[in-house]
Amino acid sequence: MTNALPKADVVIIGLGAAGGIAAHVLTQAGVNVVGLEAGPRLGLGDFLANDDEISGMIRYWTGEPKYNHEIPTWRPNANAPTQPPIPPVSMANMVGGTSVHYGTQSWRFRSDDFRTRSTTIARYGNAVIPPTSTLVDWPISYDDLEPYYDRVEYLIGVSGQAGNINGALVDGGNPFESPRSRAFPMPPMRSFGYGELARAAMTSLGYHPFPQPAAIASVPFDDRPACTYCGYCSGFGCWNNSKSSTLVSAIRRAEASGRLEVRPNCRVMRIQSNDRGQVTGVEYLDEQHAPQVQPAGVVILSAYLYENVRLLLLSTSAAYADGLANNSGQVGKNYLSQAYAGRTALFPGKRLNVMSGAGGQAVAMDDLNGDHFDHTGLGFIRGAVIFAGNSELPIGHSRGIAPGVPQWGAVYKRWVHENANSVGSAFAQVEPLPYADVFLDLDPTVKDPLGVPVIRVTLDAKENEIKAARFMDAKLAELLTAMGAAQTWPNFPAGTPLPINTHAYGGTRMGDDPAASVVNRYGLAHEAPNLMILGGSTFPGSSGYNPTETIQAHAWYAAEYLASNLNSIAI
């Protein structure tokens, strides 16, 4: 029998990067919050330095509570059969979400990332926008979010080197970054040998290298110790509390306020709504798998992109026959998945020691990101951040073998023995565009163990992204050769589509026009004004950067607005 609980001011579905920040902002403003998280609450003793745990990735143990059993399906187009995605990626179901085990790259989007359509047309004309692309400018600007980027960096703890403080360029930082109001709260991660090779090569090629910003404590911060550079970082929870997840920062502070109740191992099944289109609460299964109903004045949906879209489509009612906030038909539309290029290289005789260090410890360059270079005649727009870093763990690293070397046996073992410590990589994160025929919906046949349809992704690589990835792949080969590599090879064919991604965007687009978007600039649904949606699913576009810090900055911006207007928004 379903149990109805006392009404909460706000219920947050998913306490990850976005939900954790929202919980902090709301509780500091005096709002009482219930946080429902599908996974467990874990602590230091649960985060083990064990290479076996991450070597498979898709079956990574933190996805076992939920994600591993509901991996979205994929088809390249609406006329193709559905198939498993290529390749699936790991997600984390736990208090703190994927911010607990992510790679900690903590980037601010630049000013032009919020105005991609208008700035591109101004420089190159309308014809360069692919005809099927639904590219639009954001309804908010970098200047709107800059104060919130700053607050996030100083709350969770981000290490880095500023490149532009209030318009003044700073030596050693990223000269292309948009102005920040002050420096990072901590200095960048320490330099390392492979990174210095990359720095020298980038400089020799005329680029502008800088230390990658990382959500890691490079020095003691907020009662947390500095990073030990153990190597077990990206893909792992931090056994030392040095990684700046929301678990050890925002959520910790929210709970200390006494206004956040965290309910782990609680699987939300549906968001309820009334005949006026307002959301009234959520239905969920508690730790004992008993059905519960949690009434709420406001519901915040921050369960990452795929679950955000799935829960909306599953939450049908008399007011929403096709899914919550979907009378416009926009839920699931305008999906983007970041493209990648990656190259591995052999540096004979050099001991690179890349099997150590932190996931966010890298040297990066922005010269080929966004519109920082002339795209005339290249056949694509936008670009990618390029970086070379540490934290290549032994099992995964042993798979980065040169073409022609067997995958097993005596020859393979000899090659790994002789060359493993002389192999390094470089990567590019290519900015994708949204397209009308790239979208998410519910799979009509595949269901999870509870009988709930999984999300289906319809996506194939487009010409713009393929050309951009191939261009970046050639630049990676040039960079690695300049670093001293004798041989380079691609990690995968440049332009390979990645349908399921930890860097995914869209599906609940943010915009001013209710007919072409799902939420407004504050993440409030046009059709259900006391429903807030947070995370990358609201992004109208993307960037060549990782999305996490922008997700967090927007969550702060939105939650602050909600706290100030709660009486008029909540029911």
Backbone angles phi, psi at 9, to 5 degrees: -60, -50
- Residue with tokens 């004798």, as numbered in its chain: 486
Tokens coding 230 = 């153990």
- 395-418 residue pLDDT tens: 777 778 899 999 899 999 999 999
List, in order, residues 6 or more apart from 375 with CB less than 8 Å away: 124, 128, 381, 382
* Averaged pLDDT, groups of 10, the chain, 571 residues long: 86 98 98 97 82 48 85 95 80 93 95 98 97 98 98 98 98 98 98 97 98 98 95 88 96 98 98 97 97 98 97 98 98 96 95 89 97 97 96 78 92 93 95 97 97 97 96 98 97 87 96 98 98 98 97 98 98 96
Q: What is the pLDDT of residue 120?
A: 98
Q: What is the pLDDT of residue 531?
A: 98
Q: What is the pLDDT of residue 1?
A: 58
Q: Cα–Cα distance between 85 and 499 in angstroms, integer?
A: 6
Closest CA to 47 of 241, 222, 227, 221: 241
Give me the domains of the chain, ranges plus CATH numbers: 3-569 (3.50.50.60)
Q: Per-residue DSSP letters for 85-152? A: -SS------STTGGGTTS--B-PPPPGGGGSHHHHHHHHH-GGGS-TTB-----SS-HHHHHHHHHHH
Tokens coding 2 = 């379903």
Q: Cα–Cα distance between 405 and 379 in angstroms, integer?
A: 35
CB-neighbour burial class of residue 193 (10 A; exposed 0-12, middle 13-18, buried 19+): middle
Q: What is the pLDDT of residue 59?
A: 45
Q: Per-residue DSSP letters for 277-302? A: S-EEEEEEE-TTS-EEEEEEEEEEE-
Q: Cα–Cα distance between 31 and 436 in angstroms, integer?
A: 39
Q: Cα–Cα distance between 419 and 413 in angstroms, integer?
A: 10
Q: What is the pLDDT of residue 52?
A: 54
List, in order, residues 6 or more apart from 502 with CB less than 8 Å away: 89, 90, 91, 98, 102
Q: What is the pLDDT of residue 218?
A: 98
Which residues of 144-266 form beta strands (DSSP E)? Answer: 164-165, 168-169, 210-211, 260-263
Phi-psi region of 547 (alpha: psi -120 to 50; beta: other; left: phi over 0): alpha
Q: Cα–Cα distance between 311 and 14 in angstroms, integer?
A: 12
Backbone angles phi, psi at 138, to 5 degrees: -75, 155
Q: What is the pLDDT of residue 46?
A: 85
Check: pTM over 0.95? Answer yes or no. Answer: yes
Q: Cα–Cα distance between 316 and 321 in angstroms, integer?
A: 5
